[in-house]
Amino acid sequence: MTDNLMPEHAAPRHGDDYTPVFSDQVRTWVYVFGLIASVVGLGFMCFGHPEIGGFISTAAGAIAAGFGVAYNPVRLSGK
């Protein structure tokens, strides 16, 4: 057992030169925007405009995916 608390899938690998296109700050803002937009979309779906709410929620998810935003608290344990 190692003393490193970072999950194996989140640990940097030797020879892995992957650098995200967008900075952590940009991805955080996109995540927050997507979260807020999803809640707004849910409100529209619940209170009378399901087609608009569905569009907002779907667009928020597509934008977040396009920026490579994936929130996983397990991956933050080593930061």
SS3 20: coil
Token look-up 């934008």 returns 63
The pTM is what? 0.61
pLDDT tens, position by position, 14-48? 555 556 677 888 888 988 999 999 999 999 999 98
Amino acid, single-letter form, for residue 48: G
Long-range contacts of 3-6 (CB under 8 A, 24+ apart): 4/78, 5/77, 5/78, 6/77, 6/78
Distance of alpha carbon 38 from alpha carbon 53, whole angstroms: 8
Q: What local confidence, expressed as pLDDT, does residue 9 receive?
A: 60
SS3 content of the chain, % helix, strand, coil (to 5): 55, 0, 45
